Chain A
Amino acid sequence: TRRLCILKGIYPHEPKHKKKVNKGSTAARTFYLLKDIKFLLHEPIVNKFREYKVFVRKLRKAYGKSEWSTVDRLKDNKPSYKLDHIVKERYPTFVDALRDLDDALSMCFLFSTFPRTGKCHVQTIQLCRRLAVEFLNYVIASRSLRKVFLSIKGIYYQAEVLGQPVTWITPYTFAHDHPTDVDYRVMATFTEFYTTLLGFVNFRLYHSLNLHYPPKIDVQADVELKPAEGKEYAMDSESYLEKLSALSASLARVVAPTHEDEVEMDEFPVEGETAEQMDARKKEQEALEKHKKLFEGLRFFLNREVPREPLAFIIRCFGGQVSWDKSLCIGATYDVSDPSITHQIVDRPRVEQQVVGRYYLQPQWVFDSVNAKLCLPVADYFPGVLLPPHLSPFVTEQEGDYIPPEKLKLLAMQRGDNPDEESEEEDEEEEEEDGNDKEEEEEEEEDESEKEEEMKLKKMEEQKTQSSKLLPVKVTAGKLRLEDRQRLEQEQQSEEKRLAIMMMKKREKYLYKKIMFGKKRKVREANKLAAKRKAHDTAVKEEKKKSKKARRA
């Protein structure tokens, strides 16, 4: 039943009247809809499961009796079942399926990184890998990647597939230390369904782009790539998948791509849309097109310490050409020494033997550029340089939220003005000035402090003499209390509000207090972050100054 629930997507419901349903007790219980359970009973796959159960029993018996011929026979007649109809039933339209693709993709990418031994069937892992690679190839072909994010958990990607945002996470390519408190059978059941779903989705997606499915590497490109090697190479299925997963070749189309693809779309003015909205939409469209061609014309080379697959995927998604060392993976298109390389992605503190005419950059530049929708200035990303913070593209700050200063800078850059250089220059100037000022100030301060001390002493003496002469009673001049109009008004308003709050009904008051509490907490958190940042910045500045001074001295 657990398998059935997972496959059919049956989940418990929270009843409206928990007490009524639970016969008066308030103990925690899970409730399924009666309809759902009846629905499960009618599923034809139940019989298949029963057959499978019988099969397993027979097989075990045969093993126990060491009847190897029976084992072989049973294995040959292993009952199999298909989940096609369940997929169709759960997702009656294609868009429904796309909406639920997030978990499927994440799971497939996770399973495709599992070791080929233990834990789960090799076939499952291979299938997952295949489907994942196919999906990546689709994203490249359709150029639908939008956002990427390097988190400490893994790499997040967000693509827009047929208007639906699809987000998935891939782990970093390291061996997993498999936890013991995880039930792999549950995960395997989910994966079983997800692979079926993803396969059908891939099929449909490929056909929407007029691509072959299962994918074929474009022959033209193939020949260009490997003129020396025969065609048999590509036929070998294992290496074929590998080659596909190299993500370097474009895919073959059923219909030859016409180069006049980009015929200007006729514009149909949507009714009830003002000219402004149209303009905005047009602008958005243009921006999107520009974003898609972000790396067009750029040639990248990935060093071997850089995670190859994600970077190749991203660069190819935005129209860039990418290559890597031939010994690293098949599918390398050009060599390090190629003079036409514009960017080389490097993740080591310093590079010996720099070739003139290309930028040596850290991988974060690619990610940040994609998120910023423009090629960022390269100066911050040179190897060995302290990187600017990597921000999440998934956060859209609302009013009142804390916005990190880097994000503000980025937003300004996106708007078109380029405050970066100026500010940097200013910073440097400021720093220099600061340095000078500081010294001068310090000198002055020393002087002043001496003077002040003298003054103080004098004053004290004077006071002493005066106090001995004068009576201790003093009449101080009355201060004119300035009544701040604005403040008064504000106070009055706030008092009015307080009084009105007193008159609220109990339920509304509760709601109001809750909302206000939430707001206050948000503000508090934002303030906390801002304060932390300020403290950090000042600390950094101090340190810089110190080091500067030390250098000077």
Chain B
Amino acid sequence: PCPPLTPLPSAPLQDIRNTVGNIPMEWYQDFPHIGYNLEGKKIYKPIRNKDELDMFLEKMENPEYWRTVQDKMTGADIKLTDEQVDLVHRLQKGQFGDVHFNPYEPAVDFFTHEVMIHPVTNRPADKRSFIPSLIEKEKVSKLVHAIKMGWIKPRKPKDDTPTYYDLWAHEDPNSILGRHKMHVPAPKMKLPGHEESYNPPPEYLLSEEEKLAWEQQEPAERKLNFVPQQYQCLRAVPAYSRFIHERFERCLDLYLCPRQRKMRVNVDPEDLIPKLPKPRDLQPFPTTQALVYRGHTSLVRCLSISPSGQWLVSGSDDCTVRFWEVCTARCMKTLPVGGVVKSVAWNPNPTICLVAICVEQSVLLVNPCLGDKLLYGATDQLLESYMAPEEERVQPVQWVMATMEEHSKGVRLVVQHSKAVKQVTWHGKGDYFASVVSDNSNMQVLIHQTSKRWSQNPFRKSKGLVQCVLFHPIRPYFFVATQRYVRVYNLLKQELTKKLMTNCKWVSSMAIHPGGDNIICGSYDSKLAWFDLDLSTRPYQLLRHHKKALRSVAFHKRYPLFASGSDDGTVIVCHGMVYNDLLQNPLLVPVKVLKGHVLTLDLGVLDVLFHPTQPWVFSSGADGTVRLYT
């Protein structure tokens, strides 16, 4: 409570001091008055109707504005006098409020620091300061008595040397807690080897390069945590500078390292190798490269062989198709076709001499005129005996007779598709063939009948990008391989019978066992899936023999062999025995890895094919050769 300021000069007549006392003034915020004066009358708040603009104008125009202060108690504006302003300034500077107060007056000591000769008080000493205290005497005698009686003993010096005794005097099995059973004892420190010796055999010392490598390694990665060194004699051996470090690290390991029991696999690696029948017992199979068919100048994409096994046809990126005699590796005929040959297929019917060739958007049916004259003559006759039907039917493709020039080269018929053709394959009887068009619509697969020159589109809907198609050798089934699935259709009932999951990313090729119950699928992720159609829709076995993408797979017609060609330039021949009795699963044994093709453009073997009667395998490669292994 500071004394009230000097009586306000503006209101000398009436005393409008507020009587509410020292309370927060917000309590009167919502009332029209601000308190009560001495007479108990309400003090009304002064009317404030100034808005921002007025305030601003006043601030600008009123020269006394800066010394105007609102009195919280009365709500009135007060103009500070000059003395009051001075006081405020002084207080702000931290000076005394009173102008006349001198803080630096000279100090006068009450007592001098000098020792005077006379005492300050003149009182003589008490008598009781000369006689012994009775109370103290009593206390002392009590203590003496206690000591005499042995109640108080002098403090024994503490013996802090630990005492030891036979801790394990009686080892009772009960004290073995359950936790000791799950306790993982800390592994002992590794015992030192020869290299840690102060005088190791010379071969354990690091050479310069090794030392450099050691220094560049991370300390955690190093195999040895020290550099082996050699000293002439024991006297020369210095202290090991990291000794305390190593002990400390061991301590940290002991209490911070998580412990875990690890089962170390203790297997003889030889036991892991599966016991397979010896390849020698599974003969015959091709073992050595016998012939190389040279002539193509670019990669040979496809191969096919005549049903008699005498002639071989190969199609290549150099826009030619070559016919070879198998036994002599002689090129009998070269047929320029004016486009990259994607696929060739020799008619499997031995009475017909006809080859289907995929060139860009068309499939050429070619009579190679090789072999028995009667045979290929008969084929020509057969083709010419075609009678056009009376009514024109709408066909997805156009069948065109070859021109004279083409006819002289051997081309008989041209089946013109709307898009590029990828693959062509014959049905076992030799009348029907199927072609795959690289397209996304439902027109991907077409089935053609040669004798009636008639084509049809078996599918209404596209089920994905078709990779290859295949006819079942005996039954009316049709296999369509898309990227990840192989669908099996029944052509008679016109329905989907099975959908095989290949477990591969991208199927590249497909081949069927001559028995018709097993399929192999090669894929670009270097897997080969063997399906047993009777068993399940999942692969019976996935073989990961190749290191790179598989390009083609093939079954032998007579022998239990199958082969796969891959981008790593090898052909792997496997023994794939299928047993007649249903209980026994097929036996798959790799028997030979055939090498020969040179890798060109990162491509190795593009197609593999078995001879129809002999245990021989042909392979065509990106190096422009066809090779025969016998």
Residue positions of A touching B, CB distance < 8 A:
2, 5-6, 9-14, 30-31, 35-36, 39, 76, 80, 82, 84, 87-89, 91-94, 96-97, 99-100, 102-103, 106-107, 110, 123, 127, 149-154, 156, 167, 171-172, 174-179, 181-183, 186-187, 190, 195-196, 199-200, 202-204, 207, 213, 305-307, 347-348, 362-364, 386-387, 389-392, 394-395, 404-406, 492, 495-504, 506, 508, 511-512, 515-516, 519, 529-530, 532-533, 536
Q: Please give, as numbers and ranges, the residues of chain B lying within 8 Å of A364 by CB-CB distance.
A: 199, 233-234
Do A14 and B258 contact each other (CB < 8 Å), given the known contacts A182-B244, A389-B199, A392-B192? Answer: yes
Question: Which of A91, A100, A503 has most chain B Cβ within 10 Å?
Answer: A503
Q: Name 5 A/B residue pairs within 8 A (Cβ), A-sorted.
A: A10-B255, A11-B257, A82-B162, A92-B180, A182-B245
Determine if A497 and B273 form an interchain contact, defined as CB atoms under 8 angstroms apart.
yes
Q: Are A390 and B250 in contact (CB under 8 A)?
A: no
Say whether B260 contacts A110, CB under 8 Å: no
Question: Chain A residue with minimal CB distance to B173?
Answer: A92
Closest to A186 in B: B251
Chain B, 232-262, contact with A by CB distance < 8 Å: what is the 0/1 string?
1111011111111111101110111111100
Stretch from B164-172, B411-419, B483-491 contacting the other chain: B164-172
Is A390 a contact partner of B199 (Cβ separation < 8 A)? Answer: yes
B201 touches A533 (CB 8 A): yes
B308-342 interface bits toward A, Cβ cutoff 8 Å, 1 = contact, 0 = none: 00000000000000000000000000000000000
Chain A proximity of B540: nearest CB distance (Å)? 14
**A102-B189, A200-B167, A391-B194 are known contacts. Are A506 and B202 too (CB-CB below 8 A)?**
no
User: Could you tell me which B residues sit within 8 Å of A by CB distance?
Assistant: 155, 158, 160-162, 164-168, 171, 175-177, 179-180, 184-186, 188-189, 191-194, 196-204, 207, 226, 228-229, 231-235, 237-248, 250-252, 254-260, 265, 267, 269, 272-276, 278-280, 543-545, 572, 588-593
Q: A152-B240, A203-B164 are in contact. Are A167 and B191 (CB under 8 A)?
A: yes
CB < 8 Å: which of A103, A213, A519 contacts B164?
A213
Q: Are B196 and A203 in contact (CB under 8 A)?
A: no
Report B115 CB to chain A, min CB distance, Å. 29
Contact across chains for A152 and B197 when beta carbons are under 8 A apart:
yes
For B239, the chain A residues whose CB sits under 8 A away are: 171-172, 174-176
| Known interface pairs A149-B192, A364-B199; A500-B164 also in contact (CB < 8 Å) | no
Nearest CB in chain B to that of A93: its residue: B171
A363 closest partner in B (C-beta) = B234
Known: A348-B235, A389-B197. Is A152-B245 also a contact (CB below 8 A)? no
Contacting residues, chain A, for B273 (C-beta < 8 A): 497, 500-501, 504, 512
Contact present for A186 and B248 (CB under 8 Å): yes
Query: B233, B248, B588: which contacts A187 (Cβ < 8 A)?
Result: B248
Q: In the assembled complex, which residues on chain B have CB atoms less than 8 Å from the CB atom of A392?
A: 191-194, 196-197
Say how far A82's CB is from chain B's closest CB, in angstroms: 8
A153-B243, A178-B244, A504-B274 known; A88+B167 contact, CB < 8 A: yes
Contact among B237, B245, B274 for A150, CB-based, below 8 A: B237
- Complex Cα gap A195–B193 (Å): 29
Given the known interface contacts A364-B234, A389-B202, A500-B274, the answer about A30 and B192 at a Cβ–Cβ threshold of 8 Å is no
Contact yes or no, B591 A176, CB < 8 A: no
Of B254, B272, B276, chain A has the most CB atoms within 10 Å of the CB of B272
Q: Shortest distance in angstroms between A105's beta carbon and chain B's nearest beta carbon?
A: 11
Q: Could you say which of A13, A80, A110 contacts B247, with CB atoms under 8 Å apart?
A: A110
Given A149-B192, A499-B593, is A204 in contact with B197 using a C-beta cutoff of 8 Å? no
Are B591 and A30 in contact (CB-based, < 8 A)? no
Partner of B545, one of A102, A204, A502: A502
| Contact partners of A176 in chain B: CB under 8 A | 239, 243-244
Q: Which residue of A lies closest to B196 (CB)?
A: A151
A307 to chain B, nearest CB (A): 7
**CB of A236 to closest CB in B, whole Å:** 16
Whether A362 contacts B234 in the complex (CB less than 8 A), given A30-B256, A183-B248, A406-B201, comes out as: yes
Docked Cα-Cα span, A428 to B548, in Å, equals: 60
Residues of chain A lying within 8 A (CB to CB) of residue B589: 499, 503
Pick the contact of B591: A13, A200, A394, A499 (CB < 8 A): A499
B234 touches A347 (CB 8 A): yes
